[in-house]
């Protein structure tokens, strides 16, 4: 086969099929003891005065690499001292993915708390689908090595500056 033939065949393959996460459902993890239902709908969890801002972007995809429009994403994490707000909704909120399955969360980098590395909890649900509860981790965080729940496949990908990304794959 000539090089031109190989290139021609490659052009016929769908690019979305090359996504790294497609086909493998995002691993489930515990919601932990601090989940609170009925969080407010918002794309920014910032309360004002945070020193370490973070923007997390990504997509919600099916196992067949198709965007999951209107998927629910419910996020929560600890504050700057490693404490969770169990009375209100500080650093808690939900949003819906757009028609292409994309989401954007503006928040801050949570602190560690005893026994855990930095992480962000999330519940993801395709419309009418099963809820996926998992956690996102920070690449290169020293606490990752000593956290028994940590999974490297749930690390966000570091972007430029204050940005990170993660694509969820759910049953849809």
Placement of tokens 């086909």 in the chain: 23
The confidence score (pLDDT) of residue 23 equals 84
> Both tokens of residue 62?
């099916």
pLDDT tens digit at each of 172 positions of the chain: 554 444 344 434 444 444 456 789 999 999 999 999 999 999 999 998 888 899 999 999 999 999 999 999 999 999 999 999 999 999 999 999 999 999 999 999 999 988 999 999 999 999 999 999 999 999 999 999 999 999 999 999 999 999 999 999 999 9
The confidence score (pLDDT) of residue 20 equals 52
CA atoms within 13 A on the CB side of 109: 16
Spatial CA neighbour of 137 closest among 101, 112, 169, 162: 112
Torsion from C-alpha of 96, 102, 107, 108, nearest 10 degrees: 140
Between the two ends of the chain, the Cα-to-Cα distance in Å is 39
pTM of the predicted protein model: 0.86
Spatial CA neighbour of 136 closest among 66, 72, 55: 55
The confidence score (pLDDT) of residue 19 equals 42
Spatial CA neighbour of 121 closest among 88, 149, 81, 160: 149
Adjacent-strand bridge partners of 124: 73, 132
Q: Is the separation of the CB atoms in 168 and 56 below 8 Å?
A: no
Which residues are CB-neighbours of 149 under 8 A, at least 6 positions away? 29, 30, 116, 135
> Both tokens of residue 60?
């919600």
Q: Which domains, and CATH codes, for the chain?
A: 21-170 (2.60.130.10)
């Amino acid at each position: 086969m000539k090089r031109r033939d190989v290139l021609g065949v490659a052009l016929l393959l769908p690019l979305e099929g090359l996504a790294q996460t497609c086909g493998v459902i995002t691993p489930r993890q515990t919601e932990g003891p601090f989940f609170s239902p009925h969080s407010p709908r918002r794309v920014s969890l910032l309360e004002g005065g945070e020193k370490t801002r973070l923007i997390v972007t990504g997509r919600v995809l099916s196992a067949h690499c198709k965007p999951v429009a209107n998927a629910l994403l419910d996020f929560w994490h600890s504050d700057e001292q490693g404490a969770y707000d169990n009375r209100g909704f500080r650093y808690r909120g939900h949003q819906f993915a757009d028609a292409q399955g994309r989401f954007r969360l503006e928040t801050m980098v949570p602190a560690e708390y005893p026994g855990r590395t930095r992480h962000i909890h999330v519940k993801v649900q395709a419309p009418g689908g099963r809820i996926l509860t998992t956690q996102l981790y920070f690449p290169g965080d020293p606490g990752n090595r000593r956290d028994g729940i940590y999974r490297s496949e749930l690390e966000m990908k570091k972007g430029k500056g204050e940005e990170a990304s993660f694509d969820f794959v759910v049953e849809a």
